[in-house]
Chains A and B, each alone.
Chain A
Amino acid sequence: MPVRATFQLKGLDAYLEDLSAAGQNVDLVAAELLSEVAPYAENELRRNLLNTKQAGETWTGETEGNIEVSDVQQDGNFSFFELSIKPTSDAQEIKKEFGTARQPAEPFFRITLRGHLLKNKVKAVMKQLLQKYGVSA
């Protein structure tokens, strides 16, 4: 099973309504926003994974290589991308994220989604798009 979680940020609706009132296609703007954020999220996940590396540890790089980010997708009014890690041969990503019977958790996925950096990035890109389309933030 891949490691997967949901990141949702409240408070963007008002911005999107402003864009709609300004005549912009909200779905296209949301897709533009997410396409800017997706690679950032992928890099943040990789950075947080590598931050768990202890001195002297040798890694195969399999978990890092299995990080995936999808294209922006739409389901009705819901726009999203998927950030995930394909299962490794021995579920290393789950062992690291949640721990084992003898090993504490070294969370990297949850802190990527819950930390402030990703939220700040979304807000910053949103403001850029508002400026681009002539809507005051």
Chain B
Amino acid sequence: MSLIETSLAAVIFSGAAGCSLQLWCLGTAWSQRLEQQHRVADELEAALVAGLAAAREAAAGSSNPAPSDCTAAAEQLAARIQAAPAGGAVQRLLERRGDAVLLQVRSGEPPLERQRWLHPAALGLCAAPLAPVGGGDGSP
């Protein structure tokens, strides 16, 4: 076994070991980040589902006949969702635009977001009076 062969083997092995160590470190860091993103995405999903469940509960307990004022119904819907508990690290935002409510859930790190537009009329919280009303597009 010559000195040259031993030296060359040592160089190859140490180079590969260094390279492998870096790859493992990087891979482990990515895996941890992925795990965190999965966890946060699940928390966002849970918070969104909780908000939607509160909206459905509001719909289930709505008056009969349904009111024709969808703006007031949107206000009540937003209040009902606001009263439902949100997830720990998840920020829940509610914004009213006309007859619609925007439900947003956000996380801080990593910054992820989900959002849904909820219309009281689509939840049965309000309905048109029997006499048809023309015009108006009902959009948010």
B and A form one assembly: no
Name B residues whose Cβ lies closer than 8 Å to a Cβ of A.
none
Name A residues whose Cβ lies closer than 8 Å to a Cβ of B.
none
